[in-house]
Amino acid sequence: MKNMYNMIEPKNLKEVISKEELSLRITEIGAEISDSYNLESVVFIVVLNGSFIFASDLIRAVNIECEVDFIKVTSYSGMKSEGKINFEKDLSTEIAGKNIIIVEDIIDTGNTISFIKEFIDNKNPKSLKIATLLLKPKIAKLDFKIDWVGFEISPEFVVGYGLDYNQKLRNLNAVYRLGGVN
């Protein structure tokens, strides 16, 4: 990998989860979701921007009737959480009385997913479940269950497969630990 966008040297990227591991686990989650909803339809609510690649693969791994909508909130700048959540895009679909699955890229402290869960709960869905690609259990402070977790990881900063560093590196096809960047 040559100098990524003139800011990241290859030595600063260490693969944490391979392309093959991602594919296998997402296929498993897709099968679990399909089994759970068998004859019912689902609305996947994809949390932008980081979840779009995971969501794309996950939605193609299910064999149930589904809809897709998007929500966007931000809480990060660079490698640090700003400590507050900014709402940037609301849903465009009516979700009252429908089965909802929130698709998140990563849950670290849990603040963002807690905010989104409460927001969705207030719209009176029939059911609400959460699928996340990555969970940092050592720092997540949650008072509810995450229904599908792709991988549990340590509390380090990761990029690739939709996850970014200042909007860069999302296009990497695996998940990498990012080091040596301030």
**Residue ranges per domain, the chain?**
20-153
Q: Which amino acid is at 108?
A: D
Q: Which of 108, 143, 147, 164 is catalytic?
A: 108
The reply to whether the predicted model has a pTM over 0.85 is yes
pLDDT for position 12: 84
pLDDT confidence of 124, banded at 50, 70, 90?
Answer: very high
Is 108 an annotated catalytic residue? yes
Q: Tell me which fold the domain 20-153 belongs to.
A: Rossmann fold (3.40.50)
Percent of the chain whose pLDDT exceeds 90 = 77
